[in-house]
Structures are given as structure tokens and as C-alpha cells.
Amino acid sequence: MTLGRLARLLVSAPPADRLARRLGQLLVGLVLYGASDALLVLGGLGLDPWDVLHQGLARRTGVPIGTWTIIVGAAVLLMWIPLRQRPGVGTACNVIVIGTVIDVVLAVVPAPQALPLRWASLLAGVALNGVATACYIGAGLGPGPRDGLMTGIARRGHSLRLVRTSIELSVLAAGWLLGGTVGIGTLLYAVSIVHLLLPRLTIRPATPRAAAPEGAAGVPGPASVVPGRRPTSASSPRCTASSR
């Protein structure tokens, strides 16, 4: 088996349609995501569940939080193997870019001391996170490692909501026990605006497929549509969670 064929088996090929735009939007989204995470850390009023874990590990070991973001992301990606999940270009970029940006921002931006400035940092972080998540998910180049873990487990017959809640509560509890910050920011993050922004930032195919007759192969008729069921693919924003 050639190296190229092995790579195609292990990694999902990116869609050729509008690839340059997809890559640009992906990188912008990941850089903004890292910056938004750093703003939440600087605010000191609470982090999302995964960053609570990263911060707890950082405080225990002295290794920067962004570096732990990369380490944990890589470890979670290894969990995809038994789930037979295939990462995309965006998955690999997600692991590296977000943590790197977090460390860079925290190295150059001082933490605010006044409470109003801390609140401003928190609110700016939450808002920017919504934009960033919609950008990189909308690029359609693969989910983050944590997203893929949740959807991979859910595809084995489990409720996506239950899987996501169980994982995030476990991560949150572990991070809190390690010394990570849980607070109002944790709650605000959970109700962020990514749901509103994702439809506007999703890149659609340049040439839509011709509509097939209702009931044709792969095209559901009215009876096969389940009202209220949300998609469980990587394009579903809050199957992401930390949205990564």
C-alpha cells in the first residue's frame, strides 16, 4: 500500500469546491477561537468545560494552558481510532492552531484587574467564540477532535445530547478538582450565539445538485422526515461543544 493511499484511508479528503475560501475561513476561525479562549482566561470569571480542564492541568504542572490544549486535543484524537472516525484538514489544524494562539495572546496581553474590564474580557470572549466557531465549522473541513469524539460515540447508538453532557460534565468536574476556574463565564459560554451565526458562515457548494424527485434513492419523502431531529454531523454546532 502506497503512502498516499494510506493517507487517504486515514484522513478525509477536503472538498474541492471553494477550497481556498474554506481554508481561509478555517484559519480565521481557529485563530479567533484561540483569541476568544485567551480572553476568557484573562477575564478569570469562568471557562468552558474543556478549558477548565486545560487550566487545571496547567496550574498543576506549570505547562501553559495553550500547550495543554494541544496535548489534550491530540490525546482525544487518538480516541477516534477505535471509533473509526477520520479526521479532516480542519481537525489537524484545530489541534495545533487554537492552543498556539492561546499561549501567544496570554504571553503578550496582561490580565485586567478591575472587575468591569474582566467582564468586558469575558463578554468579548464569548461573543468572539460564537463567531469563531461558526467560521471554522462552516468551512466544512472537519470537526475538532472533541466534536468527533462525541459524534463517534453517538453513532454507536447513544443519544448525542447524553454523550455530550456526560463528557462535558466529567471534563468540567476533573478540571475543577485540578484547580480550573468555574464561574459565570462557564454558564454564558453554554448559551453562546453560535446557533445564530452558523447558517450565515456555512460555505455552500458553488453548484447545487439538481433536485431529485421526492422518494428517489437518498431523497426522503415527507414520511421519512423526523420533526425536531437535529443533525449529528460535525456541521451541527453544539454537538461541538466546546465546539472543537
Q: Measure the CA–CA gap between 203 and 225, rounded to whole angstroms.
A: 24
Q: Indicate the length of the chain as a whole number.
A: 244
Query: 216-230 pLDDT, tens per residue?
Result: 444 444 333 333 333
Helical H runs in 11-48? 19-43
User: Is 55 part of any domain?
Assistant: yes
CB 54 within 8 A of CB 64: no
User: Is 61 part of any domain?
Assistant: yes
Phi-psi region of 215 (alpha: psi -120 to 50; beta: other; left: phi over 0): left
- By CB neighbour count within 10 A (0-12 exposed, 13-18 middle, 19+ buried), where does 173 fall? middle
> What is the value of pTM for the model shown?
0.76
Look at residue 215 and tell me whether its pLDDT is greater than 80.
Answer: no
As a dihedral over the C-alpha atoms of residue 177, residue 124, residue 189, residue 74, rounded to 10 degrees, the angle is: -60
Q: Measure the CA–CA gap between 190 and 32, rounded to whole angstroms.
A: 18
* Count of domains forming the chain: 1
User: Is 48 part of any domain?
Assistant: yes
E strands present in 134-226:
none
* Residue that has been written with the C-alpha cell 471509533 in this structure: 83
Query: 84-143 pLDDT, tens per residue?
Result: 888 888 899 999 999 999 999 999 999 999 999 999 999 999 989 888 988 888 888 888
Q: What residue numbers bound the domain in which 89 lies?
A: 19-203
Query: 41-92 pLDDT, tens per residue?
Result: 999 999 999 999 999 999 999 999 999 999 999 999 999 999 888 888 889 9
User: Is 2 part of any domain?
Assistant: no
Listed residue (133, 158, 141) closest to 237, CA to CA? 133
User: Is 87 part of any domain?
Assistant: yes
User: Is 241 part of any domain?
Assistant: no
Q: Measure the CA–CA gap between 19 and 25, rounded to whole angstroms.
A: 10
Q: Measure the CA–CA gap between 164 and 150, rounded to whole angstroms.
A: 6
Cα–Cα distances (Å) from 158 to 46, 150, 171, 174, 235, in that order, read 30, 10, 19, 23, 18
User: Is 147 part of any domain?
Assistant: yes
User: Is 24 part of any domain?
Assistant: yes
- By CB neighbour count within 10 A (0-12 exposed, 13-18 middle, 19+ buried), where does 41 fall? buried
